[in-house]
Amino acid sequence: MERVIVVGGGLAGVRAVEALRAREYTGALTLVCAEEVLPYDRPPLSKAVLTGDSDDTTVDAAWDALDCDVRFGVTATGLRADERVLETTAGDLTYDGLVIATGADPIRLPGPGPQHVIRTMKDALELRPLLVSGARVVVVGAGWIGAEVATSAAKLGCRVTVLEAAETPVAVALGTELGALTVPWYAEAGVELRCGVKVASIEDGGVALVGGEFLDADAVVVGVGVRPALGWLGDALELDPRVGGIVVDGSLRTSRPEIVAVGDCAAWWSGRYERRMRVEHWDVALNAPEVAVAALLGDAEAVYDEAPYFWSEQFGRMVQFAGHQAGAEKMIFRGDPSERKWAVCWVLGDRLEAILTVDKPRDLVQARRIIGQGTPIDVTKLADPAVAIRNAVLTVS
């Protein structure tokens, strides 16, 4: 293999570049980067960047040593897989190996009015000047990103209203029972939360709701999800119709051995959960590229099958989640959700499937290890917040 192209200039892209060199790939290496800047971390965009505490989240990488040709401001426009040609806005590029890490694009709502999303550094820097004390800010979507933007805007003194179509915040991710437990956080921060509200369109000066109501706004931020950025592929590779993303196996290989996909745009097969997964979180972008590159370079044993993990900083709380709760038999609370610190576990038999923690990092760390290892646990001990989760592990005689 003499020519490898990594298409996608996010965290997954730069980690793929690093993994290639770490595995002693010495051929030509090109990173196709749609933005005009080096890859950077996205999680701080809705937090430190919006509040003005940071202007630079560039990923620390030894670019000189990596000997990588970074094509700034270039996007993929097509793929002729049989010819091993990547079509781009700067012309065709040939390859022997291709890593697809093009991420996802935010969903936008209908209407002619200005709407902001938080996906790129440019997005955050364009919104930041509007978040001044007294500004009327409407955030559409009470998911993770919506809550984080609302937190930042409220911190800056804005008058914030959050609109959510579901019955509660984070209902899709966690269900309405747990979503309802986050409702008081909004009021505590001085943020107006309106659930069960549907947006008709974004207009000049505000948001038009289904039913005719109009909300005035100096800034409208839309956080209603993302879609894999794969329109450029056409029918060159198989896409998963259920979760979206490029169909890849447990090694992140596509149907073509010279092409792998990783990050938000990849739908990988999980033996752990016996289903195809597409996980839009930083942890996957950080760790999965090592496996994808190993597979690309011929390692038949390389497999990515980690339990998902993510975190969100909102309303002065650190919220963390590990695992996958689909199929769990019951939820078990550790602590009182009306208090500041608590956790909830999802259990299947004597197995811990997932955990959500609020300001309980030790619970998260211990549970994540148990989930990863599949170690059986004593459910009674797990339900006792006075017992460390690691001490709920069953001893095998």
- Condensed to tens digits (0 to 9), the pLDDT of residues 159-179 reads 999 999 999 999 999 999 999
- Report pLDDT for 327: 85
Q: pLDDT tens digit string along 192-226?
A: 999 999 999 999 999 999 999 999 999 999 999 99
Give the mean model confidence (pLDDT) for residues 67-86: 97
- Report pLDDT for 396: 62
Do 291 and 304 meet the contact criterion of CB atoms below 8 Å apart? yes
Burial of 27 (0-12, 13-18, 19+ CB in 10 A): exposed
Do 151 and 315 meet the contact criterion of CB atoms below 8 Å apart? yes
- Report pLDDT for 347: 97
Residue whose pair of structure tokens reads 């259990």 in the numeric block = 347
Sign of CA dihedral 388, 389, 390, 391: positive
DSSP annotation of 190: T
Reference 318, options 340, 334, 346; nearest CA is 340
DSSP annotation of 105: E
Give the mean model confidence (pLDDT) for residues 305-325: 96
What CA–CA distance (Å, rounded) separates 107 from 49?
21
Query: What's the CATH architecture for 108-222?
Result: 3-Layer(bba) Sandwich (3.50)
Give the mean model confidence (pLDDT) for residues 60-86: 96
Q: pLDDT tens digit string along 377-397?
A: 999 999 999 999 999 999 765
pTM of the model: 0.94
Q: pLDDT tens digit string along 4-41?
A: 999 999 999 999 999 999 999 999 999 999 999 999 99
The per-residue pLDDT of the chain, averaged, comes to 96
Query: What is the arrangement of strands in the sheet containing 136-140, beginning at the earlier edge strand?
Result: 192-195, 159-164, 136-140, 219-222
Q: pLDDT tens digit string along 111-145?
A: 999 999 999 999 999 999 999 999 999 999 999 99
Length of the chain: 397
Residues 6+ apart with CB under 8 A from 244: 227, 228, 230, 267, 278
DSSP annotation of 285: H
- Report pLDDT for 76: 98
Residues 6+ apart with CB under 8 A from 152: 46, 47, 50, 51, 131
DSSP annotation of 66: H
Query: What's the CATH architecture for 3-105+227-296?
Result: 3-Layer(bba) Sandwich (3.50)
Q: Do domains 3-105+227-296 and 316-392 have the same CATH topology?
A: no
- Report pLDDT for 395: 77
Give the mean model confidence (pLDDT) for residues 334-350: 95
* CATH code, residues 316-392: 3.30.390.30
Tell me how far apart the terminal alpha carbons of the chain are, to the nearest angstrom. 50
For 396, the token pair is 């095998």
- Report pLDDT for 397: 52
In the chain, % of residues over pLDDT 90: 98
Domain residue ranges of the chain, discontinuous segments joined by +: 3-105+227-296, 108-222, 316-392
Do 99 and 289 meet the contact criterion of CB atoms below 8 Å apart? yes
- Report pLDDT for 318: 97
Q: Is the pLDDT confidence value at 336 over 60?
A: yes
